[in-house]
Amino acid sequence: MKINNTQRGFTMLEMIVSLGIFTVVAVIAVGTLVKIVGLNRQAQTLQSSMNNLSFALESLSREIRMGTSFYCSSDLDVDVSSFSPRGCSGSNGRLLAFRSSKTAPDGGSSVCNLIYSYRVVQVSSDPLLFKLEKAKQSDCGDTLTYHSILDENNIFLTDGNFNVYKGAGGYSWADIRFRGYSGNRENELNYFNVQTSVSQRMAD
């Protein structure tokens, strides 16, 4: 009895073609996965940075809104423990100080409004970067000590300034603007340009 066996294996050419097609598909799939992971990391970085920046701006705006005696200056080393209201306009206002709505005993029979101050300090020239610092009194006459209020490992300010305009009746308003970017890798940078305007609610 004769058995006709027609089964045979893959040829070398078929194996090479199949392997080539599989390699192309695998490279495309891995590239897509890497791209998705990168976009997800970029989105998370942006979200974290914007949350940090939004919190700082909201806190700053709330304190300024309830403050009085706005003082603006391009001099970062000015002593703001005692000052008179002063406006500034343009892009040179790097420091904004004001009297807070919070009070403390002045050592006598009366109370004083504590002083808060914000300033934009240059930290490097190449690249040009700044940091946002805050100082506040805890008691009347206290020396103000500044500390950074933004995550400098994730948020990089390329510019920041305050403009203060004196209004009628003792009411003033301040324009605040920050520009910069978040992220540490070139292909994951997110640029921002935020600006807000705050008017005081209590007259000087």
pLDDT for the residue 190 = 82
pLDDT for the residue 81 = 78
pLDDT for the residue 31 = 85
pLDDT for the residue 1 = 54
pLDDT for the residue 3 = 55
By C-alpha distance, which of 162, 147, 33 is closest to 94? 162
Does residue 39 sit in helix, strand or coil?
helix
pLDDT for the residue 51 = 80
pTM, rounded to two decimals = 0.75
| β-strand partners of 119 | 95, 133
Question: Distance between CA atoms of 155 and 159, rounded to whole angstroms?
Answer: 12
pLDDT for the residue 2 = 55
Query: Which amino acid makes up residue 144?
Result: L
> Which residues, given as ranges, of the chain have pLDDT below 70?
1-9, 90-91, 107-108
195 by Cβ neighbours in 10 Å (0-12 / 13-18 / 19+) ranks as exposed
